[in-house]
Structures are given as structure tokens and as C-alpha cells.
Amino acid sequence: MGSQTLRFGQALTSARRQLRGLGDTPEPRPDAVEALRGLEGAGAAAYIEGFAELLPARLHFNGRKRRPPRDPANALLSLGYTLLHAEAVLALYGAGLDPFIGFYHAFDFGRESLACDLVEPLRVEVDQHALMLFRSEKLRPEDFSSTQSGCLLGKAGRARFYAEWEAPAARLRKLLAESISDVANAISAAGAAGAPCPADSTAPATDTEVDDDDF
């Protein structure tokens, strides 16, 4: 147990060091979206490296893979991100905002870009929940099956997952409501000042991990 705790601590320390190093990078201009994506990608790589060390070794998690997910951890993350995205879309419609017109994620036909913007800082909530489920063994590798469509959570596992999901979902709804209120206020302020819509000048998003719109 002691060696495992030490390994976890070392992984977290290494990830924190890498993420803090990114903070020393000169802040890109507000219109330098590609530079910002580069910083996000580097931060995500450091984060995933630390996250992998916290998962049980028998999950065989070697990084984020989603097209399709091939291991239990990736399958659960994809499920959680999909549910989070759906919550964001519903909350945006409820607030009278168009979920398809984003800021960081550029307009792309069929993609709810504003919902993608909102879920980015909340993915860690899904990650923490997945980590809890695996480390407490409420979900185990045998709850998943591998198919041509990827790794899937079985019926019994889904029942346990959804029983545990409502608590984090309630917190996510609250956080989304706060974020949407901030966005609505910012849009109102920009409109009053005659500022252009940020989406007008945003370059099309590329198909990268940080532009994770298909989970």
C-alpha cells in the first residue's frame, strides 16, 4: 500500500510540475486560438499521464482513445462525457442560448459548439467520478465487454453506474447553470458595447483531442 501511495504521489507531482510549467508560457493574444489549443493539448497530455497512474493497472489504460474506446476506462470516460454534453445542451436551450454557436469551439455543422465550450472545464468532474468507481471496485474490468464497436459497459455495470451518477450529475447541473449565467451576462455586455461575436473570428477547429466533440 505504501509503495502504491508513493507512486500515486510521484505521478501527481510530475503532472503538477508540467502543468505549472505551462503557466510560464507567454499568454497568447485573445485571437490566437491555435496557440491556446496548443497550450491546452500540452496540459491535457500532462494531466492524462498523471490520471493513468491513479487507475488500477489491470484496466490497461494507456491514454485517451475514443474512436472507439478500446478499454474500460476510456469507455467510462466517453459515457460520462456524453452525459455531461447532453446536460449542457439541455441547460443552454433552457436558458434561451443557441448551443451550436460557440466561442472556443468554432461553428461546425451539426456540433453544439457552445456546449463543447462549457463542458471542457467540467470534464475533470467526470474523471474523478470514473476514478472513484474503479478504485472502489464498484466497476471492474469484467463489467465491460470488447466488441467490434469498442469496449462497452454491460447491463449490470450500467445499472451500478447510473445509480452512482445522480450525485455528480446534480453538481454538474449547478456548475453548468453558473457558467451559462456568466456566458449570458458576457453576451449581453458585449452586445451593449457593440463588440463582434467571438465566433465570427474563430478559425475552424481541427480534429484533435482537445476538440473532443464526439467524446
User: Tell me: the pLDDT tens digits for 83-121?
Assistant: 999 999 999 999 999 999 887 777 667 789 999 999 999
What element of type H or E holds 117? helix 113-119
Provide the pLDDT confidence category of residue 66 given band limits of 50, 70 and 90.
confident
CA distance 108 to 205: 8
Residue ranges covered by each domain of the chain: 1-54, 66-201
Pairwise pLDDT comparison (209 vs 93), residue with the higher score: 93
The pTM of this model reads 0.79
Bridge partners, residue 150, by sequence: 147
Hey, what CATH topology would domain 66-201 get?
Four Helix Bundle (Hemerythrin (Met), subunit A) (1.20.120)
Task: Using CA atoms of 117, 120, 110, 81 in order, give the dihedral in degrees to the nearest 10.
Answer: -150
Q: Among 74, 73, 56, which Cα is nearest to 65's?
A: 74
pLDDT digits (tens, 9 = 90+) for 162-208: 999 999 999 999 999 999 999 999 888 877 666 665 544 444 444 33
User: Under 8 Å CB-to-CB from 164, ≥6 apart: which residues?
Assistant: 129, 133, 138
